[in-house]
Amino acid sequence: MSEENSSGKDFRKNVRRKSLKSFAWFFLFIIFCVAGWKWLMHQPEEAGALKPLRTAMDANEKIFSGVFSDSHLEPTYPKTSAVTRVRVNGNYGMKSDLDTAAWKLLVVRNADITPIADTVEISLEEIKKLPKTEVVFNFKCIEGWSQVTWWGGVKFSDFAEHFHLGTKSGNAPDKNNKDDLFKYAGLRTPDGEYYVGIDMPSIMHPQTILCYEMNGRPLPMNQGAPLRLIIPVKYGVKHLKRIGTLFFSDSPPPDYWYEQGYDYYAGL
Amino acid sequence: MKRIEKKHPLAIRWFHWINFPVLFVMIYSGLLIYWANDVYTIQAGQKIFFKFFPDGFYKALTIPFRLAQGMALHFFFMWIFFLNGLAYVIYTAVSGEWKYLLPGRRALKEAWQVLLHDLYLSKKKPPLRKYNAAQQIAYTGIIIMGIGSILTGLAVYKPTQLYWLTKILGGYEWARGEHFILTIGYVLFFCVHILQVVRTGWNNFRAIVTGWEVVDEMKEEETILVDGIREKVSKQAE
């Protein structure tokens, strides 16, 4: 009887000892998690995002731009599927008046040379002379909503080809000579209030257009007349309305929402 | 006589406890994202029964106007969530743990009995196995849900590059809805899980931390005996 009691005692002791050891580890793990979270939340910010998260976003960009393919197309719809009441979301860079008749697109062929010298001005008429491309696709806002919309304009790659833009040599872009292509294109509204940066593969994607029509009619002012970007491989924030300046660079151009803590790439 | 018996391997305890805070961050950052377009409701016709989510809920959790941070957190912790889940699946497959986890052919019937027992509607005790059929279904189901979250998440994250995946899932809007429903599923799973842990008691909870359980051989035999007699009686009655 006493033997059993003592072995019972030993057993309980053993259980307690083993438990304590495991639970010590368990509480260490909890402390590690809490401390890790606190550490993360107290990191300095880089472009509006906590630095480790910014690093992660940039790494994600590398991964997902690495698997980006021109042959992956955003699904398109028949024109009858397009909504008639197209959502207007934000008017950054469009608060001032604009003389659309006098408007010309300013293109900086090489923004990496200072002072900026090599520029071209292109009128809407010249742009409209190029073959028209239409795209009906599900426009996706970074907020989470989407809408099937119908846009018309000039394929950006056709535009670059015609005006010999986006290359360091000044020749038309050549798919087999990627070193000649700039890494980025930057766009700005005429007042400079809104601006986006876009990687070259995305802006040269076959569905990216310089858009001057919506639902088969001239682009309305609140949708970015006279010319806006439609780039189905990106969230809506990159579809800059009322383009004033287009420039090419090897370094990432400033980006409005990137500075507010969003991902630079914003690719879909 | 009481003895100590091994229950959960160290690897599975790690996977379990890493998943807990990571899933928590995924759900929280998911809420930060969802807030920016919070369109889901439970409704019949025009009558709205519940809106996901009421303003007070957002305010209490300081959710409004944090979309950028939500996305940044979500697309960082998604890697940990994914890798931890993948490691768990590979581990269970290689170690043979899957044998305890996968439901068998008669799982549905047994799970029904477990459910009746747990709702105090039946006195027949669940079988003495590592996991009863209800647990097997739940723990296998949660892995399928995890795979579902990754697939629907990818379909929303890269709908152009993975257009075929988005299409299979019913398009962009549907994929977003499915991703949301799965998350509600985790919350429901969590509630039942916690309830069951509380009901089952300390010995069971301790095992997911320490890896072992105290088994009382006397009671074990008794249970088997009582169940055996009960089965005999019920068979004779037939």
Could you tell me the domains of chain B?
A: 9-214 (1.20.950.20)
Q: Do B33 and A144 touch (CB under 8 A)?
A: yes
Q: What is the pLDDT of residue B235?
A: 63
Helix/strand/coil for A38: helix
Q: Does B73 touch chain A (CB under 8 A)?
A: yes
- From chain B, the residues in CB contact with A57 under 8 A are 72, 75-76
In terms of Cα–Cα distance, which of A210, A77, A208, A206 is closest to A150? Answer: A77
Query: Cα-flanking dihedrals φ and ψ of residue B126, to 5°?
Result: -60, 150
Q: What is the pLDDT of residue B226?
A: 62
The answer, as to whether pTM is greater than 0.80, is yes
Measured in residues, chain A has a length of 268
Q: What is the pLDDT of residue B23?
A: 96
Q: What is the pLDDT of residue B232?
A: 64
Q: Which one of B160, B173, B210 has the shortest CB-CB distance to A74? A: B160
- B168: β partners: none
User: pLDDT band at residue B206, thresholds of 50, 70 and 90?
Assistant: very high
Measure the CA–CA gap between B157 and B175, rounded to whole angstroms: 10
Q: What is the pLDDT of residue A264?
A: 95
Q: Does B33 touch chain A (CB under 8 A)?
A: yes
Query: Cα-flanking dihedrals φ and ψ of residue A2, to 5°?
Result: -65, -35
Measure the CA–CA gap between A71 and A86, rounded to whole angstroms: 28
What radius of gyration, in Å, describes the C-alpha atoms of chain A?
Answer: 27
Q: Do A262 and B161 touch (CB under 8 A)?
A: no
Q: Tokens at residue A44, please?
A: 């300095």
- B2: β partners: B216
Q: Look at residue A16 and tell me whether its pLDDT is greater than 70.
A: yes
Q: Look at residue B220 and tell me whether its pLDDT is greater than 70.
A: no
Q: Look at residue B24 and tell me whether its pLDDT is greater than 90.
A: yes
Q: Look at residue B238 and tell me whether its pLDDT is greater than 60.
A: no
Average pLDDT over chain A, rounded to whole? 92
CATH architecture of A71-249: Alpha-Beta Complex (3.90)
- From chain A, the residues in CB contact with B172 under 8 A are 138, 140, 146
Q: What is the mean pLDDT of residues B74-101?
A: 94
CA torsion angle B77 B81 B84 B85 (round to 10): -170
Q: Do B36 and A54 touch (CB under 8 A)?
A: no
- From chain A, the residues in CB contact with B25 under 8 A are 37
The upper half-sphere exposure of residue B3, i.e. CA atoms within 13 Å in the direction of its Cβ, equals 6
For residue A180, the one-letter residue type is D
Q: Tokens at residue A162, please?
A: 């015609």
Q: Look at residue A2 and tell me whether its pLDDT is greater than 50.
A: no
- Give the angle A33-A39-A44 at the CA atoms, nearest 5°: 150
Q: What is the pLDDT of residue B236?
A: 63
Q: Look at residue A200 and tell me whether its pLDDT is greater than 60.
A: yes
User: How do beta strands A217-218 and A184-188 pair?
Assistant: unpaired
- Percent of chain B at pLDDT > 70 equals 91
Helix/strand/coil for A262: coil
Q: Do B4 and A53 touch (CB under 8 A)?
A: no
Q: Which one of A56, A138, A261 has the shortest CB-CB distance to B75? A: A56
Q: Do B21 and A53 touch (CB under 8 A)?
A: no
- From chain A, the residues in CB contact with B161 under 8 A are 64, 67-69, 72, 233, 267-268
Q: Does B46 touch chain A (CB under 8 A)?
A: no
Q: What is the mean pLDDT of residues A184-200?
A: 95
Q: Which one of A19, A52, A143 has the shortest CB-CB distance to B67? A: A143
Q: What is the pLDDT of residue A5?
A: 56
Q: What is the mean pLDDT of residues B193-222?
A: 86
Q: How many Cβ atoms from other residues are within 10 Å of residue A196's Cβ?
A: 25
Q: Does B202 touch chain A (CB under 8 A)?
A: no
Q: What is the mean pLDDT of residues B161-188?
A: 96
Q: What is the pLDDT of residue A44?
A: 95
Q: Does B224 touch chain A (CB under 8 A)?
A: no
Q: What is the mean pLDDT of residues B167-175?
A: 96
Question: By the 8 A CB rule, do B172 and B155 touch?
Answer: yes
Of A71-85, A217-231, B189-203, B223-237, the range with the lowest mean pLDDT is: B223-237
Q: Do B159 and A262 touch (CB under 8 A)?
A: no
User: pLDDT band at residue B111, thresholds of 50, 70 and 90?
Assistant: confident
Q: Do B4 and A73 touch (CB under 8 A)?
A: no
Q: Look at residue A213 and tell me whether its pLDDT is greater than 70.
A: yes
Q: Do B173 and A68 touch (CB under 8 A)?
A: no
Q: What is the mean pLDDT of residues B91-118?
A: 87
Q: How many Cβ atoms from other residues are within 10 Å of residue B70's Cβ?
A: 19
Residues A23-58 pLDDT 10s: 999 999 999 999 999 999 999 999 999 999 999 999
Measure the CA–CA gap between B41 and B47, rounded to whole angstroms: 10
User: pLDDT band at residue A1, thresholds of 50, 70 and 90?
Assistant: very low
Helix/strand/coil for B109: helix
Q: What is the mean pLDDT of residues A235-254?
A: 95
